[in-house]
Amino acid sequence: MLGIFDGIRDVTMLSTTIRLLIAVVLGGLIGLERSYKNRPAGFRTHILVCLGGTIASMTGIYLYLNMNLPTDISRLGAQVVSGLGFIGGGTIIVVNNHKIKGLTTAAGLWACGVIGIAVGAGFYEGAILATGFVLIAETLFSILGDRITHNTPFKMILEYNDKNALNHVMRYCKNNRMVISNLEATGKRDAIMSVYSVALTVRPREKVDFDKILNHIDGIEGVIDVEIVR
């Protein structure tokens, strides 16, 4: 461990002030990056989460060392880690096509709280290094992540009058590396024949040619109509 931090590892007024200031700086650095990207939890939220983790960790240490209470000094910090799930959950939203946004912000908030716990415990080196790696993950790794091709799920609405037609469609999807993640089926009957309507949520594993899919499925015996909604 670095010797420059040895003088502020004990719980004193000076070390308390320095730890809270460090929490503000480290939480603020992570929050600035989130604010710059206009995310739900930004500068102030990350500072408050980091401060909360710091003071919770310091309180547990204070009760044990200064008040001589028979308590587990890690219990308060553990409760902070659990409670952060509720805060992080508020930043996760579902947008169009069932796409989830906010997971990175939620994970960053959780990491920020744990960094605060480390600062409160006097583990300054770990907190500073963790902050650096969080910023790297949210900036440099974000650029790399944007270059990864994502195949967006789509919905296929199928009408057919032969029950075997659905099996053929599902087999075609499987053979072409397309996973059916959801299936909603409704049946309607007219005076002449039974017509079935199915909505399939399809998740492709590679780039797809929608015209090719439509032409193939439209040619399956028993299929009356097929439509793809993106």
216 with 136, same domain: the answer is: no
- On whether both 11 and 107 belong to a single domain, the answer is yes
Q: Give tens-digit pLDDT for 65-99.
A: 777 777 777 778 888 888 887 777 777 776 665 56
Could you say which of 146, 179, 197 is where a domain stops? 146
Q: In which domain, by residue range, is 188 found?
A: 154-229
Q: Which residues of 85-115 are buried (b: 16+ CB within 10 A; e: fewer)?
A: eebbeebeeeeeeeeeebebbbbbbbbbbbb
Q: Are residues 27 and 109 in the same domain?
A: yes
Contact 196, 149 (CB under 8 A): no
Q: How far apart are CA 163 and CA 222, in angstroms?
A: 8
Q: Indicate the residue type of 158.
A: L
Domain harbouring 196, CATH code = 3.30.70.260
**Overall number of domains in the chain:** 2
Q: Is the pTM of this model over 0.75?
A: no
Residues 159 and 138 in one domain: no
Decide which of 146, 164, 198 is a domain's last residue: 146
Q: What pLDDT, on the 0 to 100 scale, is given for residue 192?
A: 65
131 and 163 within one domain: no
Maximum C-alpha span of the chain: 88
For residues 113 and 173, membership in a common domain is answered with no
Q: How far is CA 127 from the centre of its chain?
A: 22
Q: Note whether 119 and 177 are same-domain residues.
A: no
Residues 142-200: pLDDT tens digits? 777 666 666 778 888 888 888 888 899 999 998 988 988 888 876 665 556 678 888 88
Phi, psi values for residue 167, rounded to 5°: -60, -40
Cα separation, 198 vs 176, whole angstroms: 20
Same domain, 166 and 136: no
Co-location of 68 and 142 in the same domain: yes
What is the reported pLDDT for 138? Answer: 84
Residue ending a domain, choose from 146, 162, 178:
146
Is the same domain home to 179 and 195? Answer: yes
Q: Which residue in 105, 106, 112, 127 sits closest to 18, CA to CA? A: 127
- Residues 35, 116, single domain; the answer is yes
Q: Are residues 212 and 130 in the same domain?
A: no
